[in-house]
Structure 1
Amino acid sequence: MIWAFSQQGIMDKYLPQDKKKSSLSLINTNDTSFKKNLDSYKYSNDDRKKEDAFKKCLDFVSELDLLLETNEYILDDSPLMVDYAIFPFIRQFINVDVQRFKDEGLKKIYQWFNRMLSSNEFEHIMMKSKIS
């Protein structure tokens, strides 16, 4: 993403200097421990391991929910690179069991998720190809 944003000349807009350290830290956590636990939650055949992985994923998602108490998006009132980087993984987490996620009562992350899901950017990248 950093390379792509640099090529488009939009790096400062989506990874502002004052939010760079926290953005990259959250992205790193997402890409390492959250992704590992997400895979265990999605694919484990062992109910105990699956439950443990869910709880570990929920720790990270709860941290994001707290950040959303003060902003519309994770670190700002407009989407940044961190939102775009983390969104697909949060989407996977929620989609494993939507009702279970809703039952956790994390309203801010759910509102953020729905904002991201209904954004023009998401609709644009998720356009279905037509086969003729």
Structure 2
Amino acid sequence: MPQLLIEAPIGIGDAAKQAMVTDLTAAIDAAYHIPDIRIWLREYAPENVAHDGRLNAEPIKPLLFLEAPELADLDVKRTMTEKILAAISDAYDGLANTKETLLLMNHYPLENAGWGGKLHSDNPEIVQAVAQLNG
């Protein structure tokens, strides 16, 4: 159920995208061990991105949003962050300002997420998985 949304410049090829999503999925899976990891890639032309009020002012700085259950272990978060940022850097090297990629993690308690017609907090499998994750 973890979701990663990527805002980045257009221009990487299919092979680089596939390598990137493989690495991103592995990084998230190593932290969460929860299936159904989805990655959403939104690509922008430089003339459609403004920095400090100026269009096409500098190479795009990728922006990532990780939408996922709460994750208490800071060491696991650090490792996952390093792997995610490395995968973005590898994929967008020379095309974006990957030294300033921003990853925002939005962590949700199970009562604030629903799937399959019910809250995650009402799904014993999900409750158990998150309890093990944060045990």
TM-score by length of 1: 0.27
Superposition TM-score, scaled by structure 2 size: 0.26
**Higher Cα Rg, which structure:** 2
Structure showing greater relative contact order (alpha-carbon pairs closer than 8 Å, 6 or more residues apart): 2
Give the structure with the larger strand fraction. 2
